[in-house]
Amino acid sequence: MAQSDVHPVQRFQSWQVWPGSFDNPPADGNFPVPVETGLKIDESTPIASIGSCFAREIKRRLIQRGYNYVAEETQHPAAIHASAAWERVYNTFCLRQIFEYTFENRQPDLRWWISPRSHKVQDPYRRIILYDSVEAAETDFAQHRIYSRRALQGAAVLIITLGLTEIWQDRVDGSVISLPSGPYVNEGGDMSRYKFKVSRYAENLENLERIHAVMARHNPACQLLVTISPVNLWATFRKDLDVISASCNSKSTLRAVADEFTLRHENVHYFPAFEMATIYQPLIGLTYFSDGRENYHVNKSTVKFIMRHFFKFYGDMK
């Protein structure tokens, strides 16, 4: 009688096999990776970044290592997180809107929030950026578009960090606000025109494809490096799921989207920061969570681990 083996003989590279399984070497602090990553940078390569709060960590370490980080609008407080004053950008919808207002002058139906009591002017599409008047807001935003274009067109590599899938969408024109927060919300501003929803795979992939199409027209030589932020949701607006499950759903959806997006385009690459933090660090007996009140964030040692591999994969670090 013929026999079958549940583990038929195959030839795998070490990085294709789970660390420590059977005869494969255990996790040793060096994240497994194919020999060729498809992307190389050096200190002269203009690198920009945009996305969730993890993009700020990438920016900080690139600058510390002396890389040619693209930094525009440096006088603006909202530019601390990225290459221009985009602030933190958590979802692909807001990312898409940035590319569209930068290169195509996209105008939402409702451009500014006016806070009911303080009368502060708030930008709904960038995380809690405030002005004293609409005139000041319009002037600053016109300048911001110039800086945004300069950053995106000046980058040879653009790092895009994806964060979450929960969004608040305008019922009128479909625009997505950054967060329901800031003085407009706190002072009782009308939020009835916005609906909460959990965005899905197809929508997020469409947004990334739109971003790719815009960049193909305005900076076709740029290489896109996509990563998933390992920072978990602090809270969820969902009523049907706990925060841990909701965070897992966000990251899983975006990871699947990033995989398809990477496969579709030769100039798109994936960097496994999320996997390094959430899977590999526990494999070597370490936690990746921060201590204290913001324990959903990634601790400093994990950020160092991730960025050491970033330079190892793409830079000159051996």
- What pLDDT band is residue 5 in, cutting at 50, 70 and 90? low
Q: In whole angstroms, what is the distance from residue 90 CA to residue 165 CA? A: 8
Across the strands, what pairs with 50? Answer: 160
Query: Would residue 113 count as lying in a domain?
Result: no
78 neighbors 87 (Cβ within 8 angstroms): yes
* Assigned domain for 172 exists: no
By 3-state DSSP, what share of the chain in percent is helix, strand and coil, each rounded to 5? 40, 15, 50
Tens digit of pLDDT for each residue in 61-95?
999 999 999 999 999 999 999 999 999 999 999 99
Q: Is residue 236 part of a domain?
A: yes
Average pLDDT score over residue span 104-112: 94
**How does pLDDT run across 29-48, given as a tens digit for each residue?**
999 988 777 899 999 999 99
pLDDT of residue 10: 79
Note whether residue 17 is domain-resident. no
Sheet holding 268-270, edge to edge: 47-51, 157-162, 223-228, 268-270
Q: What pLDDT score was predicted for residue 317?
A: 55
Could you report the per-residue pLDDT of 115-166, keeping only the tens digit for each? 999 999 999 999 889 999 999 999 999 999 999 999 999 999 999 999 999 9
**Which tokens go with 277?**
């933090």
Mean pLDDT of the region 188-206: 97
Q: pTM for this one? A: 0.94
Looking from the CA of 140 toward its CB, the CA atoms found within 13 Å total 23
Question: Looking at the domain assignment, is residue 7 inside a domain?
Answer: no
Residue 191 CB neighbour total at 10 angstroms: 14
The contacts of residue 105 (CB under 8 Å, 6+ apart) are 145
126 within some domain:
no
* Domain CATH for 304: 3.40.50.1110
Judging by beta carbons within 10 Å of its beta carbon (0-12, 13-18, 19+), is residue 83 exposed, middle or buried? Answer: buried
pLDDT of residue 38: 81
Whether 173 is covered by a domain: the verdict is no
Q: How far from 221 is each of 22, 65, 152, 179, 194, CA to CA, in Å?
A: 43, 24, 11, 33, 37
Give the helix/strand (H/E) hosting 194: strand 194-198
Name the residue with higher pLDDT: 239 or 10.
239
Torsion from C-alpha of 310, 311, 314, 315, nearest 10 degrees: 170
Q: Are 64 and 241 in contact (CB under 8 A)?
A: no
Q: Which domain holds residue 283?
A: 46-105+143-163+200-314
Asked whether residue 177 is domain-assigned, the answer is no
pLDDT higher than 90, residue 23: no
Q: Which of 72, 178, 77, 76 has its CA nearest to residue 126?
A: 178
Question: How many domains, in total, are found in the chain?
Answer: 1
The lowest-confidence range among 115-119, 183-187, 291-295 is: 291-295
Helix H or strand E encompassing 122: strand 121-123
